[in-house]
Amino acid sequence: MSDYDYDLFVIGAGSGGVRASRIASSYGAKVAVAEEYRVGGTCVIRGCVPKKLLVFGSHFAEDLEDAQNYGWEIEGTKFSWQVLRDRVLGDVDRLNAAYKSTLNNHNVTIIEERATIIAPHRVKLASGQEISAKYILIAVGARPYVPEFPGSEHCLTSNEMFHLEELPRRAVIAGGGYIANEFAGILNGLGTRVTVVNRGDTILRGYDESLRDRLLQISMTKGIEFKFKAPFEKIEKREDGTLDVFLKGQDPINTDIVMMATGRVPNVEGLGLEHVGITTDDQGAIPVDEYSKTACDSIYAVGDVTNRVQLTPVAIREGQAFADTVFGGTPKTVDYNCIPTAVFSQPPIASVGLTEGEARNRYGNIRVYSADFRPMRNVFAHRAERGLYKMITEEPSGKILGLHMIGPDSPEILQAAAIAVKAGLTKQAFDDTVALHPSMAEELVLMK
């Protein structure tokens, strides 16, 4: 008989926590997972999955317009935000149930209340019950960060955007990262007048400069307004419910909503880390070693709460590696090199490996190949929007250091190409591959 109630107690049933729970259970561990809100975590409940559905929905505005050039006569079209919103939330319900079913099928006990750490092998539930476990895994993720300034209480975050009663006529979005640009594209596509406000001087910091510039150009052509070097001073609410946004060095903006997309912070408040000697880093994240172990030998952490790479597939890999290491007897770590990423802007961006600037700084002698083209569909639809693919190689070996794309379906195309970059293939390997014609993907093997 075990000296503990459970072999593993997981706090947080997001992507990393769910994967760790079911894999540990498959190794024979007795597992419980506590979740205070809904099973599935940020990605499934309030992040990448419902957001991607909104991207699909918003893009029909352009698709219906382009359809006329393909012979379709479409009359009487209208859009209902409430229908799209409710269908998206309905799919979230479906996924929440599916995640619960997965855990139940793997004999994982689901505890639907908050849990906090009170000792190296002990947690306390919101109901007051205390539970012991040989190991504790922290997988509580992160939350949107809202800076404090006069009127900041009037701001929304990405969490609330999926529950809006009405589609706003005007929206101010604060931030320059992927969340800001994705929601700017969504709202703009649905007919909202969007202003993106950034305290810095660029969008999508960390992505290749050429792609950032191309997205900015296309977004402005679509009607999205950008204001750079414009920190918030205050927000005032009028009697009619609209908001006056005051920015440094800018004229005030009257808007219906203000959405903050200014980063995410780990969910560590009130977790009880002080009871087990765990101190967070300067970003508020939990430090861990390569096996996801914290400063307390019985406690591990995975996912966004560790602030290594805040991506759902990374959290899943970390949860898997933890379970394999601790319960499977096969120590495993996660390789963080060449992780493909995407921004589901309109058009989307996809990237893997080093940017041109990073490669030049690290290797010096590099070569840049590119394909700047107008997708066939856009040509026929009389849409001027152009795609751009870039490949960065080390010279003289020709090894591919980075691959960056903006254009329709770029994330779908990059996933396969990322395998080649991860495997260390050369530009010659792409040159030796016959093009698949006609397709946008063929530009990958035709770049000069």
Tens-digit pLDDT profile for residues 307-338? 899 999 999 999 999 999 999 999 999 999 99
Q: What is the mean pLDDT of residues 412-439?
A: 96
Nearest to 410 by CA among 136, 264, 215: 215
Dist. CA 96–CA 88, nearest whole Å:
12
DSSP H or E stretch at residue 402: strand 400-406
Whether residue 179 is annotated as binding a ligand: the answer is yes
Q: What is the mean pLDDT of residues 237-248?
A: 97
Between strands 341-343 and 232-237, the pairing is unpaired
DSSP H or E stretch at residue 170: strand 170-174
Whether residue 389 is annotated as binding a ligand: the answer is no
pLDDT-derived band at 61 (thresholds 50, 70, 90) equals very high
Tens-digit pLDDT profile for residues 379-394? 999 999 999 999 999 9
* pLDDT value for 4: 96
Task: DSSP letter for 441, please.
Answer: G
Does pLDDT of 437 surpass 70? Answer: yes
* pLDDT value for 307: 82
Dist. CA 235–CA 221, nearest whole Å:
28
Average pLDDT, rounded, for the chain: 96
Does pLDDT of 16 surpass 80? Answer: yes
Whether residue 337 is annotated as binding a ligand: the answer is no
Whether residue 177 is annotated as binding a ligand: the answer is yes
Whether residue 256 is annotated as binding a ligand: the answer is no
Type of residue at 193: R
* pLDDT value for 48: 93
Contact 62, 347 (CB under 8 A): no
State the Rg of the chain over Cα.
24
pTM: 0.95
Does pLDDT of 1 surpass 70? Answer: no
What would the DSSP string read from start to end of 36-98? Answer: SS-TTHHHHHHSHHHHHHHHHHHHHHHHHHHHGGGT----S----HHHHHHHHHHHHHHHHHH
* pLDDT value for 227: 97
**Does 382 participate in catalysis according to the annotation?**
no
* pLDDT value for 353: 97
**Helix then strand then coil, % of the chain, to nearest 5:** 35, 25, 40
Catalytic residue among 59, 106, 382, 437: 437
Whether residue 104 is annotated as binding a ligand: the answer is no
Q: What are phi and psi of 321, to 5 degrees?
A: -65, -40
* pLDDT value for 2: 72
Whether residue 52 is annotated as binding a ligand: the answer is yes
* pLDDT value for 85: 97
Whether residue 304 is annotated as binding a ligand: the answer is yes
Spell out the domains of the chain, with CATH numbers in brackets. Answer: 6-143+265-326 (3.50.50.60), 152-262 (3.50.50.60), 347-445 (3.30.390.30)
Q: What is the mean pLDDT of residues 421-438?
A: 96
